[in-house]
Homo-oligomer: A and B are copies of this chain.
């Protein structure tokens, strides 16, 4: 994995400093975008000297890749009451409601902290792109598992593919957030997620669509996630 010039903290104080830098960077980047944040900004807000930042991270790209993981942690943590129980219609609806009301509270601004990073990083930094793919995997897996449990209980149409349904729902969520952000209108997300719910209830695409589709399921999610996260966060 190339030159390992960056350092892992060896004391609790060092760990705290590194964490503070990371959290600050994640905050600023979510707010202003990657290009809108300088390392001086990060140092100032985290009350840390430049030398420390370069002590723990190789360069800005290294920091940004680490930020992807931290941002994902934060996004998932904000939903943790729902994510492990997405195995009933009521639970899935409650999850959607939470996502929508969060956007309403923000007046539609901000979009998805992870999704926004895709547009900024995916074409410029392969490591960051892989980390973002891993983020979506982590997120989507919760829904896929819930849908699998529903399928096992016969609450989905027998020919439904839980993995594909989860992917399609994630797409509605991300796209709904893009439209919400562009139009400054949280109803866009509501409409997108209501569409996703209708799709889930209908059992999703059947026939040719399922034949050609490969969701998380046939992509060896666990192994890839671990590898990509390891690559990104070291």
Contact = CB atoms under 8 A, between A and B. Distances in A.
Interface of A: 23, 26-27, 30-36, 70-71, 74-75, 77-78, 100, 102, 104-107, 109-111, 113, 115-120, 122-124, 129, 132-133, 136, 164-165, 167-179, 181-192, 194-199, 201-206, 208-210, 212-216, 218-221, 224-225, 228-230, 232-234
Contacts of A109: 122-123, 225
Contacts of A201: 202
Contact of A232 (B77, B170, B195, B234): B77
- When all copies of this chain in the complex are counted, the total is 2
Contact of A197 (B34, B36, B209): B209
**Which of A74, A129, A191, A205 has its CB near the most chain B CB atoms (within 10 A)?**
A191
B182 A133 contact: yes
Contacts of A102: 228
Nearest to A115: B178
Given A205-B194, A212-B100, A175 B183 contact: no
A28 to B, nearest CB: 10
